[in-house]
Structure 1
Amino acid sequence: MPDSTLSSRTVLVTGATSGIGYETSRQLAERGAIVLLHGRTAEEARAAADRLVAIAGVDTDRLCTYAADFTRLDEVEALAHKVVAEHPHLDVLVNNAGIAAPERHTVTTDGNEIAFQVNFLAHYLLTCLLEPALTSDPGGRVVNVSSSLHRTANIQWNDPNRARRYSRLAAYAQSQLALTVFAADPRVTAVSVHPGICDTALMPLYAHEGVTPAEGATNVVRLCDPAIEIVNGAYYDRAERVEPAPAATEDRTIKRLNKLADLLIGRAA
């Protein structure tokens, strides 16, 4: 049955074709939201929508599909422009797409370490470009699906691509710290959430077992609900609001990260 607080709200979920992103999309659609499903390819996005209709019984009219490979910033930019053109009012953006950093140091065609780009820079660019849609009416919000591993991280300001000293765990943690810091940017109201250790492709970074993606998704969907009051920059560990790593709320770090991100995505003045 549609939930009155989420009914007809428009939500874009990145990385919606599997894991927490897919389950978040399912729960949002079941509660009456209009869900924009993002996948790496059009085929993957369409397949996810078809599964939601066939298996979960979601109304096809509540689903729209979009594609962009986050290892290519030009595709992220094209995605944002298409979403704004088709949905000039966007209630929620769920920045969920993510990858585990590979064993070997890998750089995208844009010149960025792949985990830093997919997990943070692509979402930074997407959020900045979607700002007009998210702020077209009061109440627009961003939910960053982050990680408790952000507490172990530090941002290598002079070598964000970690070309000199690479560790897959450190690279992944750095991307999650950056995403958590970005939630405190004042341009759009945003929060970060560690949804719990879930049985997804990222689980080997944490442990040998975890809860189901559906259980993790409930912690994301909760923060999409306008009935839940949020404070910009807040960080949640599952359903509980807790303090993030100290760097995540430092004005100096926020400004420095924005400057770095603008430089790496080619938006620097």
Structure 2
Amino acid sequence: MGTTSMTGASRGLGREAAEHLLRHHPDQHLLVFNRRPGLAAELAASTGNDNVSEVLCDLASFADIRRAAAEVDRPLDGFLGNAGLQMATTDKHTADGVEMTFGVNVLAYHLLLNLLRPRFTNPARVIIVGSDVHDSAHNSMGLIPPPRWTDPRELARPREGGGREGRRAYATSKLGVVYLVHALRRRLPEGVDVYSYNPGLVPDTELSRDAGRFGRAAFRTIGKALVTLPIATTADRAGRLLAETMTGPRPGESGSYISRGEVIPSSSESYDERREEELWAVADELCGLTADGTTRTPRRSA
């Protein structure tokens, strides 16, 4: 019996994906990382499958990620990184002083996956959920500004910026996810595959929960209209497809970008080995990782 570990299983497409995994792969153990206790019991009750456990983990704290990773005591043949957030501003920070969006969407996965690497079996599959907004050419109907990549140390620094810059930070973090996947592919052994995954526009999620009462209401209203269009999908459909990509036949070469279950090229900007390696080095520094994979005191973002 194998084990798939997962973040972001409490709501939205992640909850749908987790329940699909438990219903359709009852012999595969699901280990969920979650900030609050009780999610494993909820999933067991909703699916009738108690082959699920949990580790408490706050992805906005490097210390908590280290503690959670140390509690994983079983081999892993899968990792599904679905947790992510979009902040209304760029001035909020993690427990380590990192800009919140970049800290959770990029650095948390860098640290967690590096700590879990000794646990991965061969073969194993790692998927990190990204977004098509990583592509400057993507038409998000003006809702999400295009990414603006710069020195990762600058991206990690909290700064003044309202709603538009908060949304731009989200797009930029999703470009960072693709860079992270490309860099990780070069470091994983053959047989351990890593992918970035774009679920498409999924309006019926709580991604806008930091937007305030009026912003959330507007997003829900727009979302109800968007799900009727080909450009969008519902959380249940997106979650089901994500789960099937996790458990189905090998989707493509390691490092590939998967959009709605299909391997396609990511943006032209996302193929930049210099940026990828710079991000990896800075992430090691900020997360407190050494070249041999051991940990040291992380550097607090200025």
- TM-score w.r.t. length of structure 2: 0.77
Which residue pairs with 1:267 in the alignment? Answer: 289
Shift in Å at residue 37 of structure 1?
1.4
User: Aligned AA for 1:160?
Assistant: L
Task: Output the CA distance in 2 between the equivalents of 1:28 and 1:236.
Answer: 19
Task: Output the CA distance in 2 between the equivalents of 1:126 and 1:164.
Answer: 25
Shift in Å at residue 132 of structure 1?
0.9
Shift in Å at residue 31 of structure 1?
2.0
Which residue pairs with 1:18 in the alignment? Answer: 11
Superposed, 1:93-242 pairs within 5 Å as 93-103=79-89, 105-134=91-120, 137-151=121-135, 152-157=146-151, 159-161=154-156, 163=158, 166=161, 167-184=165-182, 185=184, 186-188=186-188, 189-198=193-202, 199-202=204-207, 204=219, 208=223, 209-210=226-227, 211-225=233-247, 227-242=249-264
User: Per chain length, whose mean CA-contact separation is higher, i.e. which structure has more relative contact order (CA < 8 Å, sep 6+)?
Assistant: 2
Q: What is the SS of the residue equivalent to 2:244?
A: helix
Task: Output the CA distance in 1 between the equivalents of 2:290 and 2:168.
Answer: 26
Q: What is the SS of the residue equivalent to 1:140?
A: strand
Distance 1:102 1:266, change over 3 A: farther
Distance 1:175 1:216, change over 3 A: same
Q: What is the SS of the residue equivalent to 1:71?
A: coil
Structure showing greater radius of gyration is 2
Q: What is the SS of the residue equivalent to 2:66?
A: helix
- TM-score w.r.t. length of structure 1: 0.86
Distance 1:65 1:252, change over 3 A: same
Pick the aligned partner of 2:45 from 34, 54, 63. 54
User: Aligned AA for 1:51?
Assistant: E
Q: What is the CA RMSD across the aligned residues, in angstroms?
A: 2.0
User: Aligned AA for 1:11?
Assistant: T
Percent identical pairs in the alignment equals: 27
Shift in Å at residue 252 of structure 1?
1.5
Indicate if the aligned counterparts of 2:30 and 2:52 stay in contact, CA closer than 8 A: yes
Shift in Å at residue 162 of structure 1?
5.3
Distance 1:101 1:165, change over 3 A: same
Indicate if the aligned counterparts of 1:97 and 1:119 stay in contact, CA closer than 8 A: yes
Indicate if the aligned counterparts of 2:35 and 2:58 stay in contact, CA closer than 8 A: yes
Count, aligned residues: 250
